[in-house]
Structure 1
């Protein structure tokens, strides 16, 4: 039964007030601490759910680990994913560009024998030519020329990327254009760039799973932790539009957007 269709006017008023209270409470999620690259605060409680991909990045990565003894994980975040891929090759390094993540990654990865390198420029990585036989990259920017430089001959590059059109319904509803910095960043373009740089593509796949937000707080938390989706996101700026989305969540039980993901496995020739 839809609670909003109660015959009692007073109960409708109470529910409306309760929904407004839930909205105001949800806006406070903008102040919730976020560290590393761990979304379990909302995913662990099922407040945010993403559709299944037709591949597993983690499984693909694990299958490659025993093919090399020298590996790099680009954009390791807080080391969450890498620390779950044990056992790691004897020589494993990681990079991270977001400075607050560095101590988190070091605390998690150094006991595993992994050295974490801060990076500020994708085109200037602190490694020797041909240093790695495998480079992993999950949702991190990269310079294909630099990746090729630090890969050994026959080395493998596995990357899962977020396409430019990812969750564009959020931007549409908030009245914010998609970020131009990533315009056109889709599977076809990434494959072409790698091929032109001297890579041979072994595997390429693309998918558009749905992502559901079950309360406005989950959406606010997501936008505060994904700053490139809506740059300089502030709840007061979008209060009215967020309320419209909140009302849909209250009526339908969720609000849904479409993701864009692609994965590429390439070899240096």
Structure 2
């Protein structure tokens, strides 16, 4: 997401129709250029991941999306595998990663990983819906590493609560790094590094919000333009009158080791 184009004469309907027509497969966010911004974590996950991949012998990327982050690595291990559960993303990741020698395996996000124990010395993931630490520990070799960037608690909840109203403390605290640290420890994994940041986001028109909610479907699970049209009209008027809608994403970096 990049710098804004705030001088936008297009109508509400034009903005929404464009957002609804835009494809949502994969994790390419270039559509948001000029329409939304999001600060990036200081640890530069993709670059740090690439460094670890260059030194690995066998790697697994969990919930790879369209494969864009994994494909950005200049050097991949001799054995590189990725999993993905959403069929549209499986097709996109396969087209992108197969030419790099990566095997893409269609696997539901909540299913056990379809690999033998101790198959990989590096497991990576960027924004898994849920990290199943027991399965990660099972497929890691002794001394192996889990290196991932997770979505943190109450991420972009300014948007969520604008549409759904105030959320419970339990919902807001889900994905808290302390909870995930405890889950990782229970699975027998040691924490090498854990860092958290909250990062500013800005949406410059209502179409950017519509596309975001269509792409990141778990934010407002029942979202549709028809159901939330009155809320979207109100949001459009607010952005035109007051400027960008501001939210904050939550991210944490995990580096875990299997003893």
| Global fold match (TM > 0.5) | yes
Deviations 1:122-145 (A, max 9, x none): 441111110000000111122111
Structure having the higher Rg: 1
Q: Given that residues 121 and 144 in structure 2 are in contact (C-alpha distance below 8 angstroms), is that contact kept between their aligned partners in structure 1?
A: yes
Partner residue of 2:113 out of 107, 125, 136: 125
Find the aligned partners of 1:178 and 1:235 in 2 and give their Cα distance: 21
Partner residue of 2:174 out of 162, 173, 184: 184
RMSD in angstroms over aligned alpha carbons? 1.9
Q: Kindly state the Cα deviation for residue 174 of structure 1 after the two structures are TM-superposed.
A: 1.6
Q: Is 1:67 equivalent to 2:55 in the alignment?
A: yes
Task: Output aligned runs, 1:176-255, within 5 Å.
Answer: 176=165, 178=167, 184-255=174-245
User: SS of 2:226's equivalent?
Assistant: helix
Deviations 1:43-98 (A, max 9, x none): xx221110232211112212212332100111111111111112101100000011
Partner residue of 1:146 out of 135, 140, 148: 135
TM-score by length of 1: 0.86
TM-score by length of 2: 0.90
Q: Kindly state the Cα deviation for residue 156 of structure 1 after the two structures are TM-superposed.
A: 0.2
- Equivalent position of 1:38 in the other structure: 28
Where do 4+ consecutive residues of structure 1 move more than 4 Å?
A: 176-183
Partner residue of 1:156 out of 136, 145, 152: 145
Q: How many residues align?
A: 249
- Equivalent position of 2:160 in the other structure: 171
Find the aligned partners of 2:28 and 2:230 in 1 and give their Cα distance: 29
- Equivalent position of 1:56 in the other structure: 44
Q: Given that residues 122 and 142 in structure 1 are in contact (C-alpha distance below 8 angstroms), is that contact kept between their aligned partners in structure 2?
A: no
Q: Kindly state the Cα deviation for residue 164 of structure 1 after the two structures are TM-superposed.
A: 3.4
Q: Given that residues 166 and 259 in structure 1 are in contact (C-alpha distance below 8 angstroms), is that contact kept between their aligned partners in structure 2?
A: yes
Q: Kindly state the Cα deviation for residue 32 of structure 1 after the two structures are TM-superposed.
A: 2.1
Higher mean alpha-carbon deviation, 60-69 vs 259-268, is at 60-69
Change (3 A) 1:83 1:93: same
Find the aligned partners of 2:109 and 2:96 in 1 and give their Cα distance: 24
User: SS of 1:236's equivalent?
Assistant: coil
Task: Output aligned runs, 1:73-152, within 5 Å.
Answer: 73-140=61-128, 141-152=130-141
Q: Kindly state the Cα deviation for residue 176 of structure 1 after the two structures are TM-superposed.
A: 4.4
User: SS of 2:255's equivalent?
Assistant: strand
Q: Kindly state the Cα deviation for residue 206 of structure 1 after the two structures are TM-superposed.
A: 0.5
Find the aligned partners of 1:160 and 1:121 in 2 and give their Cα distance: 16
Q: Kindly state the Cα deviation for residue 178 of structure 1 after the two structures are TM-superposed.
A: 4.7
Q: Is 1:267 equivalent to 2:222 in the alignment?
A: no
Q: Is 1:23 equivalent to 2:12 in the alignment?
A: yes
